[in-house]
Structure 1
Amino acid sequence: MAADLDPIDARILDILQQDAGLSVAEVAERVGLSASPCWRRIKRLEDAGLIVRRVTLLDAEKLGLDFEVYAIVKLNLPSRDNLNQFEQAVHAWPEVVQCATITGREDYVLRIVTRDMHAFDLFLRDKLLSLGIVSDCESHIVTRGVKNATALPLNLITPHLGQGS
């Protein structure tokens, strides 16, 4: 579908990535359409699966959830059963906000958000290590976030969008 994006579709996606709370009328005004055609385009983009969902981003620090850790996890044996068991467990743990399989010696990288070091230690002991299938977990505590973007770089597939749209 990326090849089918015209400049207006790309602009709509870029605008919604920046602020999904805008009304259709506000998005339409920014892209130079009336509300009905803009709504139809947004609906088509949703139906095509390009818009997966709309969310609200929260301030972790103000909520007291600013202790962030990247954990590199290696399983005892990366068998299909162990991979499935681990991934099912990860889905049930609210502290894990991102999880990805990775190449190399380790199997997963997790982004974990908790209140503090004590809460992370409890997570590590009571959840991650208690699975019994983790052979190693290397934790990296984030001391300062430098960039935390949520928007995809649409200018890589639609160069006319430009930087900073």
Structure 2
Amino acid sequence: QHDASLSVAEIAERVGLSSSPCWRRIKRMEEAGFIKGRVTLIDNHALGLNFEVIASVKLALPSKENLEAFEALVQNWPEVVECMTVTGAVDYSMHIVTTDMHAYDNFLRDKLLGSKLVSDVQSRIVIRVAKKTTALPLGLVRQSAKSSD
């Protein structure tokens, strides 16, 4: 989870297996859907993508068709790095990354509000990221398995 650049031999050594059984386990985990892919994490600030927003989005009419249409639009917006359906007074929470306030304003006007599907957007500018990880809490899975025994 923490270093996708490790070779099978390095992983095998860490977990106490030889390379072939380790490789077979990794393949089984991929086939079972536990491993969705391998990525390189890029520092957005190093690229000048310094402006982050958490936007709460309310659709004008939250019908099944509009939800599907909005979610299809979001897939084509590179500024949106996460989009989740949420409970409460809004329909979606989105993590948006741009270069600056001007770029976000353009995104907001041209894409979000320009879609005609959206009735309201509440934007919260990220001041500082206190924690950011892609690692899942695997220890909780082990604890849950033990407690269900």
* TM-score bucket of the superposed structures, by smaller chain: over 0.9
- Aligned amino acid, residue 103 of structure 2: A
Identity %: 64
Divergent runs of 4+, >4 A: none
Q: Deviations over 1:27-58 (max 9, x none)?
A: 00111111101000000000000000110000
- Where does the alignment leave 5 or more consecutive residues of structure 1 unmatched? 1-16, 160-165
The match for 2:102 is 118
- Aligned amino acid, residue 146 of structure 1: A
Task: State the shift of 1:133 in Å.
Answer: 1.5
- Give the distance between the partners of 2:110 and 2:120, measured in 1 at CA: 15
Task: State the shift of 1:105 in Å.
Answer: 1.1
Task: State the shift of 1:66 in Å.
Answer: 2.0
Task: State the shift of 1:149 in Å.
Answer: 1.0
- Where does the alignment leave 5 or more consecutive residues of structure 2 unmatched? 144-149
- Give the distance between the partners of 1:117 and 1:45, measured in 2 at CA: 42
The match for 2:146 is none
User: Which residue, out of 13, 16, 38, partners 1:32?
Assistant: 16
User: Which residue, out of 55, 59, 62, partners 1:78?
Assistant: 62
**Mapping 1:1-165, distance limit 5 Å:** 17-159=1-143
Task: State the shift of 1:73 in Å.
Answer: 0.3
Q: Deviations over 1:115-146 (max 9, x none)?
A: 11111001001100001111110000000000
- Give the distance between the partners of 1:96 and 1:37, measured in 2 at CA: 39
Task: State the shift of 1:157 in Å.
Answer: 0.8
SS state of the match for residue 87, structure 1? helix
- Give the distance between the partners of 1:155 and 1:76, measured in 2 at CA: 41
CA RMSD between the two structures: 0.7
SS state of the match for residue 40, structure 1? helix
- Give the distance between the partners of 1:50 and 1:113, measured in 2 at CA: 28
SS state of the match for residue 54, structure 1? coil
Q: Deviations over 1:49-95 (max 9, x none)?
A: 00001100001111101211000000111011111111000000000
TM-score normalised by length of structure 1? 0.85
TM-score normalised by length of structure 2? 0.94
- Give the distance between the partners of 1:141 and 1:105, measured in 2 at CA: 19
- Aligned amino acid, residue 97 of structure 1: V
